[in-house]
């Protein structure tokens, strides 16, 4: 069961990335350190739901 999720930057509050994840095996929210173009540095991004 794949679900579309977005990755939202904690610094600028903008959704910079979108990906899919398996909702049955990964029940916790994703937290990844990704590059934010607005802040021009690597920041922590958290998972949010996207509309299908």
Q: What is the mean pLDDT of residues 48-52?
A: 84
Chain centre distance of CA 5: 6
Looking at CATH, the fold of the domain delimited by 2-49 is given as Rubrerythrin, domain 2 (2.20.28)
- Please give the pLDDT value at position 52: 64
- Please give the pLDDT value at position 14: 94
Per-domain residue ranges of the chain: 2-49
Q: Are 43 and 3 in contact (CB under 8 A)?
A: no
Q: What is the mean pLDDT of residues 22-47?
A: 95
In this predicted model, what pLDDT tens digit does every residue of 22-34 receive, in sequence order?
Answer: 999 999 999 999 9
């Amino acid at each position: 069961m794949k679900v579309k999720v977005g990755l939202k930057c904690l610094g600028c509050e903008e959704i910079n990335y979108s990906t899919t994840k398996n909702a049955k095996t990964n029940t916790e929210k994703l937290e990844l350190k990704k590059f934010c173009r607005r802040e021009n540095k690597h920041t922590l991004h958290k998972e949010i739901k996207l509309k299908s």
